[in-house]
Each structure stands twice: as structure tokens, then as C-alpha cells.
Amino acid sequence: MKFSIFEVDRMMTDKALTSGQKDIHKVSLGEKLEAIVHGMPQGNITTTQILGVFEDDGLLLLSIFLSLIFLIPISVPGVSTAFGTAILLIGIARLFKRHLWLPGKIAGRTIAAETLTAGLMKALPWFHRLEKISHPHRLPWLTGNIPGLINKLAYILASLLLMAPFGLIPFSNTLPALSLIFFAIGEIEKDGGSILLGHLFTLATVVYFAVLVAGVGVTVWEGWQYLPF
């Protein structure tokens, strides 16, 4: 069984009513994501099926969901390309205010639901901690129209960095994933502080990758000097 984001809202509302909570609408993002993770189907799941869980109004939550798997230091092999492409297309769809479209090869890419769920369950406690950092309507000047355009472009850059071929290097996927999570949380809750953290993690990713590339370049150059020709 799988749940759409609207079904999750309904389930969380019913739970709140049953437990006697007064405010049934203040369900955290983490609780929604956790409910979706527990409702994942069995067997192999395609990118299209994951999109179906979130439907059209949950693209930012979907980007958080897809990014969560990368909070563990070393990513699951082959996932960063498929999920990174999906996140990139989410960014492009948001930038141009279009419906999300995926190419057939990416839409049909499958991953074992058990593997995905196991990774997400390891990452969810970290997301709950990150979520507590957010405060709605903080630094509102970072969520206006012009800054909003810059934020969307930075989101696209972070998704491209996530797709970089450094998946087996620790934290090479974790840093851009943190950028994407904070950008998404910031947009959902209109929190300029989270958006600022997204920019900082994007900058950290660029610096980290620059150091990696420079290190490889120096190693190749030093090795070249010892060749006999």
C-alpha cells in the first residue's frame, strides 16, 4: 500500500482527533514523511511510483524525500543519478512553473523498496533534527520574488552537484542533499534562515568538490613526473 500526501494529511488529522489534540493542522514535515516511508509498497519501486505518492502539490516534500537517502555518508550506488535527475527536473518545473515531467529511462528506473526504506529510516532521525532548526517566516527578505528566483537557481545547482560522479566519496552526496533539504524546508515554511543554510551548504559542496578535483590533479601531475618518458 502507498499513501499520497493528501492521504497522509487525512491520517494525521484522524490521529490528532483521536488523541484529543487541539491543533490538528500543525503536523510536522517529518511526521508526514515518516508516514509515507511506512506506507511504501513492497518489491521494486520506480521513480514514477514515488512521484505518484506525492502527486502534483508535493514537489518540495518529494525533493526532501528523495534527498533523505543521501544523509548517510556513502550513498546507495546508482541512486544519485536517478534521484538527482528527478530533483533537477523538480527544480526546473518550479522555475518555469510547469508540471513535472520525467524522461522514460529515469521514470522507469527501479530500486528495491526494502533498500530505499532502510536508508530512509536511517536518515529520518537526522531530518527530525534538521527540521527543528526551521522557524516559519524568519528572514522574510530571503523569500521574496527576486531572492526566490535566486533560490530556485541555487536549488538547480545543488541538484546538479548531487549528480556529480563522486558517489563513493564520503559526504559528496550528503552536502548537496543537505542544501536541497534546507531549500525545500525554507520554501515550504517561508523560512529565510533555512534557505540561507541551503546556500551555505551549496557553497560548502562547491569548495569540497574543488578540493577533490585539485587533489586528483596534483596526484596525476606528481605521478606524471615519475614516468620514464
CB 5 within 8 A of CB 60: no
DSSP-assigned letter for residue 45: E
C-alpha closest to that of 213 among 174, 161, 178, 176 = 161
How far does Cα 51 stand from its chain's mean position?
13
Rounded to whole angstroms, how far apart are CA atoms 183 and 201? 10
Residue 66 vs residues 101, 179, 226: alpha-carbon distances, Å: 16, 13, 45
The pLDDT assigned to 74 comes to 55
Rounded to whole angstroms, how far apart are CA atoms 193 and 191? 5
Q: Is the pTM of this model over 0.75?
A: no
Instruction: pLDDT tens for the chain, 229 residues: list them.
Output: 444 444 545 444 454 434 444 343 456 677 777 777 777 777 887 777 776 666 545 788 888 888 888 887 655 566 777 788 889 988 998 888 877 777 777 677 777 777 777 777 877 887 788 788 888 888 888 887 788 899 999 999 999 998 887 766 777 888 999 999 999 988 888 889 999 999 999 999 999 999 888 887 777 777 777 766 6
Query: For residue 32, what is its C-alpha cell?
Result: 508526514
**To which residue does cell 556513502 refer?**
74
Q: H or E segment at 110? A: strand 110-112
C-alpha closest to that of 78 among 102, 47, 103, 54 = 47
